[in-house]
Amino acid sequence: MRERQTGTIVNVTSIGGKFAGPFGGWYHATKFAVEGLSDSLRQEVAEFGVRVVIVEPGAIKTEWGDIALDSAQAASGQGPYGDRVRRMSAAMRQDGGTMTRGSEPDLVASVIMNAIQAPRPRTRYVVGHLARPAVVARWLLSDRMMDRMSARMMGD
């Protein structure tokens, strides 16, 4: 890409790189890291005509959510956080919860294709169920208000 003086790198992260929720520190840490890496890389390769784009999906209909909730229950379900993990899992899996209302995966694929084909792509694409409201809330609300909102969504 440097030699050709053109190209687009697309890094897919998550809105989980904008804010963190309980029992997902391991996940959020990786997503925050991809955000920082992408921001740095974008500045480093710009002089070579290479663009770096970040795609930040919200809730997407994949098996990831079930895997994450099952892992949380396996790791914490029998310990001091067990009750809270069970409430969180039930709230997220209930009809209308974030696990049941995700966007289709092809929406993310479409955004990636648009970013690749755009002559001047945006640096960030927020896509999918609850993605935009979550990013706007993170921008507008204090940390404590975000914590309260997260707690309510997680069944607390």
Torsions phi, psi of 12, nearest 5?
-95, 120
The domain spans of the chain are 7-60+104-153
- Supply 6's token pair: 């053109």
DSSP-derived 3-state class of residue 58: coil
How are beta strands 7-12 and 50-57 bridged, if at all? parallel
Question: DSSP 3-state assignment of 101?
Answer: coil
Nearest to 63 by CA among 52, 55, 71: 71
Q: Which residue has the higher pLDDT, 155 or 13?
A: 13
The Cα–Cα gap between 77 and 94 comes to 18
User: What is the mean predicted confidence (pLDDT) over 146-154?
Assistant: 84
* Residue among 116, 138, 140, 26 nearest 150 (CA): 138
State the CATH class of domain 7-60+104-153: alpha beta
78, two tokens: 């029998």
Residue 147 or 153, more confident: 147
Percent of the chain residues topping a pLDDT of 90: 60
For CA atoms 122, 36, 134, 83, the dihedral sign is positive
CA dihedral 71, 73, 77, 79 (to 10 degrees): 30
Banded model confidence at residue 90, pLDDT cuts 50, 70, 90: confident
Q: Using DSSP, state whether 23 is helix, strand or coil.
A: coil
pLDDT in tens, 117-145: 999 999 999 999 889 999 999 999 999 99
pLDDT digit string (tens) for 23-72? 888 889 999 999 999 999 999 999 999 999 999 999 898 888 788 888 88
Catalytic residues: 27
Please report the pLDDT score of residue 39 as a whole number.
98
Give residue 44's pLDDT: 98
User: What is the per-residue pLDDT for 95?
Assistant: 66
- Mean pLDDT across the chain: 90
pTM over 0.95, yes/no: no
Count of all residues that appear for the chain in the document: 156
